[in-house]
Structure 1
Amino acid sequence: MAWTLPVILCTIGATVVAYLLGSCNFAIIITKLFANDDIRNHGSGNAGLTNVLRTLGKGPALLTLIGDFSKGILSVILVRLLLHYIAGVNDFYVADYIVAIAALLGHNFPLYYGFRGGKGILVSFGAVMILSPIAGTICFIGFLLAVIFTKYVSFGSIVACILFPITTQLFYYLKTSTFSLTQLILALCISALIIFMHRSNISRLLHGKESKLSFKRK
C-alpha cells in the first residue's frame, strides 16, 4: 500500500475515530445503566466483561460483550471503507492494525472515563476477526481451552495473545510465501499491550491468588 496523501488522511481520520469509539467502555456504560454505579468500584476494579459478569450477572455481561466486541469490528470496517471509497485502495492490512491498536488504546485508556478502562481482549478480538478470521478463531479456541482447563479467564487471554502473532504470521506466509516484519511488529504491539494490562493478573496467577471463573454473582 502506497502512503499517498488520501491514504494518510483516511488512516489518520479512522485512527482518531477508532480511539474515540474504543473509549466508549461498555462495562462502565452498562453498569451505569443497570446499577447507577461505576464497575471500577466493584470486584477486581477492572472495567471489563469478567468483572461485570461477577458483579451484575449474565444479562449485563452479554450486553458488555456485544458492545466491546463490536468496537473492534467497526473500527477496522471503517478504515477499509474510507480507504476503498475515498483513497481507492484495497490493500488494508497496515491501516487495519493501526486502527485496531487505536481502538485498543481507547478501551484501555478511555478519554471519557479518566483514562481508566479495561484490558482490551474483547475489542481486540473483534478487530482480529476482521483482520484474520482463521487466526482469530484459533486464538479463541486457545483461549477457550485454557479457560476450560484452568478456570482462569486471564490465563486464557494471555494464551490467546501469545498465539496471535504466531498464527497471523503463519497464515500470511501460507498466503504469500513470505513473512511480514511490519505485520509481526504490529501484532506483537497488540499482544504486548494486552499482556501488560494483565500484569496484576499475572502476579496473582504466580502467587495462586487469581479468582477463577464463576457464573455466580458476588
Structure 2
Amino acid sequence: MTATQILWMAGVALVSYLLGSVSWAVIVGRVFLKDDVRKYGSGNAGMTNVLRTAGKGAAALVAVGDFSKGAISVLLGRLVFQYALGLDPIYGAYLGGYFAVLGHIFPLYFHFKGGKGVLTSAGAAVLIDPISVALTAVVFAAVTFTSKIVSLGSIVMALCYPVITYFVSRALGRDPVTVTICAVIFAAIIIFMHRSNIGRLLRGEENRFGKKKEKVQK
C-alpha cells in the first residue's frame, strides 16, 4: 500500500466523520424547540427523542438527514476506492459508513455528544446490502409496533442483521465472510450504544412511544 493510497483512505474517513458529525437532531431541535433536544427526555441526539419532544414533522427531517449522511459517506467511499485507488469498492463503502456512524455518535461540532447511530447505520447499510436491510427493517417494524418500544426494535434488528447478511450473501452466491464481519461491527456499535436502554428494558422501565418526554432535570 502506497502513501498516496493511505492519504486517500484517510480522506474518506475524515470527510465521512465530518459529515456524520452534522447532528440533525440538535439542529432541528433548535428550530422547533428553540432549545437543545439533548436537554429533554433521554438526552439523546436522535430521531426518537426528537419525535417525543418536537413531533412527527421534526422527527421526519432528522430521519432523512441522519439516513442521508450514512448513504452519502458510503457512496463517497465506493467512488474513491473504485476510481481513485482501483480497489474493491466494498471496503471503501464500509470505511465511509463506519466513520459516518462514529461522527454521528461523537459529533465534532456538538461536544462529541450525539445519537446512537441507528439511522446513519441504516443509510450506510442500504447502499451496501439493500436486501439484508429490507429484511431487517421488517424485523424492526414487527418488534417495534408489537412492543411499542423503539429501542427494543433497534436492538433486535441489530442482532438479526449479521445473521440475515450471512444467509443473503450465501443465497446470492457471494463470499459471506467479509460482509458478515462488517455487519457484526455495525451491530456491535448499535447494541453498545443501547446499553442504557437494555438496562431499562430489563428493569421494565423503558418508555413506549406515544408518551411525551419531560425535560431532563439537572
TM-score (norm 2): 0.91
Aligned equivalent of 2:31: 33
Q: Among 194, 198, 201, which residue is 1:205 paired with?
A: 201
Q: Among 30, 53, 56, which residue is 1:55 paired with?
A: 53
**Mapped partners of 1:140, 1:100: distance in 2:** 18
**Mapped partners of 1:8, 1:37: distance in 2:** 41
Q: CA deviation at 1:5?
A: 5.3
Aligned equivalent of 2:126: 129
The answer to whether the 8 Å contact 1:53/1:217 transfers is: no
**Mapped partners of 1:124, 1:217: distance in 2:** 25
Q: CA deviation at 1:53?
A: 0.6
Q: CA deviation at 1:7?
A: 4.5
Aligned equivalent of 1:114: 111
The answer to whether the 8 Å contact 1:58/1:215 transfers is: no
**Mapped partners of 1:196, 1:207: distance in 2:** 18
The answer to whether the 8 Å contact 1:73/1:126 transfers is: yes
The answer to whether the 8 Å contact 1:21/1:71 transfers is: yes
Q: Among 80, 98, 102, which residue is 1:101 paired with?
A: 98
Larger displacement relative to structure 2 (134-143 or 75-84) = 75-84
The answer to whether the 8 Å contact 2:76/2:93 transfers is: no
What is the SS of the residue equivalent to 2:176? coil
Q: Deviations over 1:84-139 (max 9, x none)?
A: 332234x2222211221111111011111111100010000000100100000011
The amino acid across from 1:52 in the alignment is V
Tell me which stretches of 4 or more aligned residues in structure 1 moved more than 6 Å: none
Matches within 5 A, 1:104-183: 104-176=101-173, 178-180=175-177, 182-183=178-179
The answer to whether the 8 Å contact 2:81/2:91 transfers is: no
Aligned equivalent of 1:81: 79
Count of aligned residue pairs for this structure pair:
214
Aligned equivalent of 1:70: 68
RMSD: 1.8
The answer to whether the 8 Å contact 1:94/1:183 transfers is: no
**Mapped partners of 2:195, 2:76: distance in 1:** 31
**Mapped partners of 1:179, 1:155: distance in 2:** 27
What is the SS of the residue equivalent to 1:176? coil
Unaligned runs of at least 5 residues, structure 1: none
Q: CA deviation at 1:200?
A: 0.8
The answer to whether the 8 Å contact 2:12/2:95 transfers is: no
TM-score (norm 1): 0.91
The amino acid across from 1:14 in the alignment is V
Unaligned runs of at least 5 residues, structure 2: none
**Within the alignment, does 1:190 sit opposite 2:186 as a pair?**
yes
Aligned equivalent of 2:20: 22
Q: 1:41 to 1:216 in 2, by over 3 A?
A: closer
**Mapped partners of 2:170, 2:188: distance in 1:** 22
Q: Deviations over 1:154-186 (max 9, x none)?
A: 000011101111122222222335431x43332
The amino acid across from 1:48 in the alignment is G
Identical aligned residues as a percent: 45
**Mapped partners of 1:6, 1:172: distance in 2:** 32
